[in-house]
Amino acid sequence: MAEIVNLNQFRKAKARESDRHQAAENRVRFGRNKVEKENDRRAAERRDALLSGKELEKSGEDAPDEGDQK
């Protein structure tokens, strides 16, 4: 005869295994230490500072009006 299996326990065990697998993937994807996060934050700040220093300033008087051009 076949072994009697409680389907509810089987379903829960399968869900737990799926959750463990998902957790392992998330650890690989998002598991960074504090130093790596700090380095990324500093790089983003440096990049933003360089870009903001190269922006062109627009003043209201120097910009040509669209209605003045013929």
* Pair of tokens at residue 12: 């829960």
As a whole number of angstroms, the distance between CA 42 and CA 57 comes to: 26
What's the mean pLDDT when you consider all of the chain?
Answer: 85
Q: How confident is the model at residue 37 (pLDDT cuts 50, 70, 90)?
A: confident
- How do residues 7-17 score in pLDDT, each as one tens digit? 999 999 999 99
Predicted confidence at residue 58, as pLDDT, reads 75
Distance of alpha carbon 58 from alpha carbon 60, whole angstroms: 7
More confident residue, 31 or 68: 31
Reply yes or no on whether the pLDDT at 66 is more than 70.
no
pTM: 0.43
Alpha carbon of 22 to those of 13, 17, 26, 60: distances in Å?
14, 9, 6, 54
